[in-house]
Chain A
Amino acid sequence: MKDNHAGMSLSFKIISYIIISILSLTCLFPFLLMISGSLTSNESIIRDGFHLIPQVFSLEGYNMVFTFPDQLIKAYSVTIFVTAIGTVTGLFFITMAGFVLQRKDFKYRNQFSFFIYFTTLFGGGLVPWYIMITNYFNLGDTYAVLILPGLMTPFLIILMKNFIKSAVPDELFESAKIDGANDFRIYRSIVLKLSMPGIATVGLFLALSYWNDWFLSSLFINDSSKYQLQYYLYNMINTMLFVSQMSSGTGVTLAQEIPTESTKMAMALVVTGPIVFLYPFIQRYFVKGLTVGAVKG
């Protein structure tokens, strides 16, 4: 490794730094526009468009967001609650499933794996799924409907299974068994400990999918106090779109307050905030597994 670094010529370093900086700038640019947009007065956005530095500085966007924060805070807490519960229970089920599916002494592991895999290829479709959840499980308008459907994603189970397979050598199970550990003990003390990077990855996927989810709210939630944050935001923007598209042709007029451009930007910023901070905290688990050297010979 060291040799590689020393061997890197100066010019290569400079070029790579430039490329990386340009790339990161292009990633940052829209975000900066969003920040500046949220600080611009709405009239100025419509007249002059977005600028990197606000033409007419104004906090009206944030004012709008925070004058009646009850709905926003409610949506926030729903999302945090759903994300936390969903990620923790989801991780538990997914690691359990992964652990079982990769055990060589589980006779039907291939059949089960295939069964899980099969569902990623063929699904019932939206309408049967909707009917199943509303009419048979009666989950409409509950918090459970926000958590359950995303709890065990086949892709994540397969990912976890393969991860445990590569991170935990079979011999470790044997030796643990000889030492008198039962399966739960093996799961808790060996599998969980050794597959931390995998758990972090899957956990991040899960948390992100819960945080970014709006579709479940959209379909199954009627009570506006149970809206997830993303849906709350998405719906505001859709309302505006609807007004501009429909009212021209149909004369429909809506009584509700319509968010302005600057409000939309402010909202987007308020929503993206917390999840951005998740990365640095999880990153440290993305170190290589610790199994190197556990099995000799």
Chain B
Amino acid sequence: MGKRRLFTWCTVTLLTASMLAGCGGTKNEAEKPAVDKSETKTNNTDTSSATGIDTSEKVELQFYMLGDAPKDLPTIQEEINKLALADLNATVKFNFTTWTDWSQKYKLLLSSGQPIDLIFTADWTEYQSYAKKGAFLPLDELLPKAAPKLNEFVPKDMWEAVKIDKKIYTVPATWKEYVTEGIAYREDLRKKYNLPKPESLETLEQYLDGIRKNEPNMLPLADNQGYHAGAVRQLTTKIVNSSNTVPYGLNIMYDKPRDVTSYWGSPQHLADLKMYKTWADKGYWPKNVLNIKDSGHDVFANGKAAAILGSENPNRYNDSVIKIKSLHPDWELGYFPYPNAKGFAQPVHPIHNGFAIPRTSKNPERALAFYEKLVTDKRYNWLTQYGIEGKNFEVEDGKYYKMLGDAQSNGFPREGMQGWAWRNPQFMLFDKSFDAVLNMFNEFDKIAKPDIFQGFPEDWSPYQAEKAAVEQVEKQYLYPLNVGLVEDVEGGLKLFMEKAKQAGLDKIQEEYTKQWLKYLDDIGQ
């Protein structure tokens, strides 16, 4: 009893200490990877045999995915387990975090020492920082042994792109996808009032003015959250991200990535803000625009607004098209993707979707072997992406996905397990309506350039306090400027810059630039 309690206390204190270290900064991080390496090495020598992997002992793999479980998950799991038991002498338990507090739960799962064999990773789940902190197993040595097929299947440059500190920690998804944004507008109204296609700032303004004049009950713009500020940057510059802006008001252009300047406070910024002011005066958005919580996408897709500038990527735009087709067949939508204005399109970075093996995994080899099956074996892949053929879906015309029943009655809709990471281009089935998106992707392919921004592992621990302060200042002083609520734009911008500098903007920009340049060195740009 005494011993056990002591042990508990030790683990608790140790964990708290490690947590503090994780929050506190970089002090301990230098030592950590060394420990990781030695541990994985002992792991390897324990279980490895000369060729392939040892499957003599039956194991249950814990598989963690974000989001909600589909209704038919138990049947799918049963089917998968039949296959996995025969192939790998393993069964899998699919666990889902739900979308409630997923980021907190994700952190708990990785820090609590619970045995987990496979877990989803993405740039937006902070893959880079978890990998740096040593939450995942390095896969470089495991891959050729446990999953040779997968190792071959994923292109070399993708393996290179997901490396953190020269080690692979996640298996990237290989399907090339574009999440670039664009202007979605009402083609039928544009034709009706003979307005120009909104493909540049001038034509966009003409289009919005025309709508304002002819459709007084309609909102010209649906960007309630002030997304237009980021969207205009996408439309008018060759900015390095594929959506929104570079953080902390920095200016990084794709063609000259080493040239980092500040956009905030620049003459261009002032000119843009003045333009937003005139937009607001013309009534492109309502006065209480900062308080509206409705998503712009819904507002646009329900016909309340005539255009949306931010957040409409090809996938989403297609969503609006389908929705409008069923509700108002007489309407017509148009779309102008920003890549056309920028002259290049960036597919998502390989780290955007992936699966990693946490360090707590008891069977890393079996887990990787199972993941290989999931990606490269059509039976596994279809089961987990589309469900059971004949029950959940059908293949139409040899290549299209067709859901059986509707979204309510079907227990496993398309990609019902959020299986973005193990999409395999060779096996993928699309809904007929998705052809429009695929066509768009094909167009983008012609002007595709690799994404150099998304893989950047920003480490904000040196300026964590300043980051929070600047964000607060941004909300308080810049947002009203963005939506034209401040009469004196020049004075407002000056005030914002003053407050931001007080909050430590200079320090952030300096440190961020330093990290960015180092990253460019690492990837050889």
Residues of A participating in the B interface, judged by any CB pair closer than 8 Å: 43, 46-47, 67-68, 124-128, 130-132, 134-136, 214, 218-219, 222, 224, 231, 234-235, 238-239, 241-242, 244, 246-257
Contact = CB atoms under 8 A, between A and B. Distances in A.
A235 B68 contact: yes
A58 to B, nearest CB: 14
Chain B interface size range = 35 or more
Interface string B83-101: 0000000000001101111
A248 B242 CA distance: 11
Given A222-B95, A254-B418, A257-B408, A249 B124 contact: yes
A231 B68 CA distance: 12
B179 interface: yes
Given A235-B98, A249-B179, A256 B413 contact: yes
Interface string B14-47: 0110010000000000000000000000000000
B297 A255 contact: no
A249 B311 contact: yes
A46 B298 contact: yes
A224 B69 contact: yes
Interface string B284-326: 0000000000110111001110000011110110010000000
B365 interface: no
A130 B112 contact: yes
Contacts of A46: 294, 298-299, 302, 304
B420 interface: yes
B243 interface: yes
B112 A235 contact: no
A32 B398 CA distance: 52
- Main SS of chain B's interface residues? loop
- Main SS of chain A's interface residues? helix
Given A136-B8, A256-B68, A249 B243 contact: yes
Contacts of B113: 131, 135
Given A218-B100, A244-B295, A251 B348 contact: yes
30 contacts: A43-B302, A46-B298, A46-B302, A68-B409, A127-B15, A127-B16, A127-B108, A128-B12, A128-B16, A131-B113, A135-B113, A136-B8, A214-B100, A219-B108, A238-B101, A241-B99, A244-B295, A247-B313, A248-B311, A248-B316, A250-B124, A251-B177, A251-B348, A253-B316, A254-B418, A255-B70, A255-B407, A255-B416, A256-B70, A257-B407
B108 A249 contact: no
Contacts of A257: 407-408
A248 B67 contact: no
A256 B416 contact: yes
Given A43-B302, A235-B100, A248-B316, A255 B415 contact: yes
A251 B313 contact: yes
B121 to A, nearest CB: 13
B316 A127 contact: no
Nearest to B178: A251
B315 A124 contact: no
B67 A254 contact: yes
B81 to A, nearest CB: 17
A68 B408 contact: yes
Contact of A251 (B19, B179, B303): B179
A257 to B, nearest CB: 5
A292 B247 CA distance: 69
Interface string B494-520: 000000000000000000000000000
Nearest to A44: B302
Given A131-B112, A218-B98, A247 B316 contact: yes
A47 B179 CA distance: 28
A130 B302 contact: no
A131 B179 contact: no
Contacts of A219: 105, 108
B217 to A, nearest CB: 10
The residue in A126, A222, A239, A251 that gathers the most chain B C-beta atoms within 10 A of its C-beta is A251
A249 B70 CA distance: 24
Contacts of B408: 67-68, 257
Interface in B304-356: 304, 310-313, 315-316, 319, 327, 348, 352
